[in-house]
């Protein structure tokens, strides 16, 4: 009897894993751990939350370095690490946060573009990571593959321009959007509420889209980019985000403010439901173009850090604008 129940549970979990496209027990455990870490940093003080975002940004940049290297595109990781961390720190501690952020981003774009123009093929650790991602037998297989792809002088020059362009795109996609995750904690006088909105609303969008899409999804949203995304999943993302926004507002804002701000929760939830889904699709498009399944493998059940935060990154500037315009 117990064996039969165990087999039924195992079959149910396998069916859920197949429909969602991930190992759900691992994903839930990893997600719970991340929630605990983020909540702890948010409640300690805004500085701790900012440093946590810098840490995840650093990991995300390394993942992109490996991912782009699979297509023989090389970004200057050290310059990106230093400039991105400096941008975040200047934005957070500067007197005029927005001005400092954009000034630092402009400097980062220039410095990273210069560094990328001199970028070589990468270290042995990068080659091992790329060989592992491509499932090649050894580094020598990768070296042989790279030597065949070097091509003519004009192709190598074009490769340099590609390195520069992709490196600048990385600054926009990772550094700038990560700054918008932290920026809401610097205004409005509600750093805990703003940090929770910036991180947890897009995460709820992912969860809503995942479960509504798995159970009710019939109409494909973008089959070429992500076959598992559905219109029903998008509706679920928006619904769950609206409910989560109301819950966060109820837990963090004074009750007497509710008559004035309830509609902001509605707008935030609906907006993040859409932008979070768009963030997933954008990351899926990058992975499809590179021919890879996951951005990385650091988070069990989720893939890489960027697989987990793609919706958070894309939603961050919209959340910041809504909070700023509404005076929250």
Cα–Cα distance for residue pair 185/164, rounded to 1 Å: 32
Query: pLDDT for 207-225, tens place per residue?
Result: 888 778 777 767 777 777 7
SS3 state at 299 = strand
Q: Are 76 and 116 in contact (CB under 8 A)?
A: yes
Q: What is the mean pLDDT of residues 119-132?
A: 60
The upper half-sphere exposure of residue 57, i.e. CA atoms within 13 Å in the direction of its Cβ, equals 31
- pLDDT above 60: residue 137: no
Cα–Cα distance for residue pair 24/8, rounded to 1 Å: 16
Q: What is the mean pLDDT of residues 14-38?
A: 61
Q: What is the 3-state secondary structure (H, E, C) of 124-135?
A: HHHHHHHHHHHC
Cα–Cα distance for residue pair 125/147, rounded to 1 Å: 18
Residues 6+ apart with CB under 8 A from 191: 42, 46, 49, 184, 185
Q: Which residue spans within the chain are E strands per DSSP?
A: 220-222, 226-230
> Pick from 175, 208, 199, 203: which is nearest to 320 by CA?
199
Ordered DSSP codes for 219-284: SEEETTTEEEEEHHHHHHHHHHHHHHHHHHHHHHS-GGGHHHHHHHHHHHHHHHHHHHHHHHHHHH
- pLDDT above 80: residue 15: no
Query: pLDDT for 68-93, tens place per residue?
Result: 888 888 899 999 999 999 999 999 99
Report the first-to-last Cα separation within the chain, whole angstroms.
Answer: 57
pLDDT category of residue 5 using cuts at 50, 70 and 90: very low
Q: Which residues pair with 220 in a beta bridge?
A: 230
Q: Are 46 and 39 in contact (CB under 8 A)?
A: no
Q: Which residues pair with 222 in a beta bridge?
A: 226
Residue with token string 């500067």:
94
Q: Are 305 and 60 in contact (CB under 8 A)?
A: yes
> Pick from 60, 32, 12: which is nearest to 181 by CA?
60
- pLDDT above 60: residue 14: no
Cα–Cα distance for residue pair 270/275, rounded to 1 Å: 9
> Pick from 289, 285, 287, 306: which is nearest to 297 by CA?
306
SS3 state at 300 = coil
The predicted structure's pLDDT at residue 146: 46
The predicted structure's pLDDT at residue 9: 46
Q: What are phi and psi of 203, to 5 degrees?
A: -65, -40
C-alpha pair distances (Å), 49 with each of 89, 171, 324: 12, 21, 19
pLDDT category of residue 45 using cuts at 50, 70 and 90: confident
- pLDDT above 70: residue 46: yes
Q: What is the mean pLDDT of residues 200-204?
A: 88
pLDDT category of residue 194 using cuts at 50, 70 and 90: very high
> Pick from 266, 269, 308, 277: which is nearest to 213 by CA?
277
pLDDT category of residue 203 using cuts at 50, 70 and 90: confident
pLDDT category of residue 129 using cuts at 50, 70 and 90: low
pLDDT category of residue 307 using cuts at 50, 70 and 90: confident
The predicted structure's pLDDT at residue 130: 63
């Amino acid at each position: 009897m117990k064996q039969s129940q165990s087999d039924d549970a195992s079959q149910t979990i396998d069916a859920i894993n197949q429909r969602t496209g991930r190992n759900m027990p691992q994903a839930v455990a990893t997600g719970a751990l991340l929630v605990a870490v983020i909540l702890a940093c948010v409640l300690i003080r805004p500085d701790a939350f900012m440093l946590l975002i810098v840490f995840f940004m650093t990991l995300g940049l390394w993942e992109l370095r490996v991912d782009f290297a699979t297509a023989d595109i090389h970004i200057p990781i050290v310059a990106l690490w230093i400039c991105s961390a400096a941008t975040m720190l200047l934005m957070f501690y500067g007197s005029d946060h927005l001005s400092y952020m954009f000034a630092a981003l402009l400097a980062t774009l220039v410095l990273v573009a210069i560094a990328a123009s001199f970028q070589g093929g990468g270290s042995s650790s990068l080659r091992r990571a790329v060989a592992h991602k491509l499932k090649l037998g050894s580094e020598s297989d990768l070296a042989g593959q790279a030597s065949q792809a070097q091509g003519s002088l004009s192709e190598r020059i074009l490769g340099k321009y590609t390195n520069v362009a992709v490196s600048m795109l990385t600054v926009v996609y990772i550094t700038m959007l990560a700054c918008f995750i932290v920026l809401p904690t610097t205004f409005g006088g509600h750093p805990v509420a703003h940090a929770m909105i910036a991180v947890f609303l897009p995460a709820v969008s992912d969860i809503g889209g995942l479960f509504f899409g798995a159970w009710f999804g019939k109409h494909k949203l973008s089959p070429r980019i992500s076959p598992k995304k559905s219109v029903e999943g998008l509706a679920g993302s928006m619904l769950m985000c609206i409910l989560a926004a109301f819950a966060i507002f109820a837990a963090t804002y004074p009750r007497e403010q509710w008559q004035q701000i309830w509609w902001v929760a509605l707008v935030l939830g609906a907006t993040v439901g859409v932008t979070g889904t768009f963030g997933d699709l954008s990351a899926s498009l990058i992975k499809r173009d590179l021919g890879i399944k996951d951005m990385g493998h650091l988070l069990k059940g989720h893939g890489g850090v960027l697989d987990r935060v793609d919706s958070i990154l894309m939603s961050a500037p919209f959340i910041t604008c809504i909070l700023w315009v509404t005076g929250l």
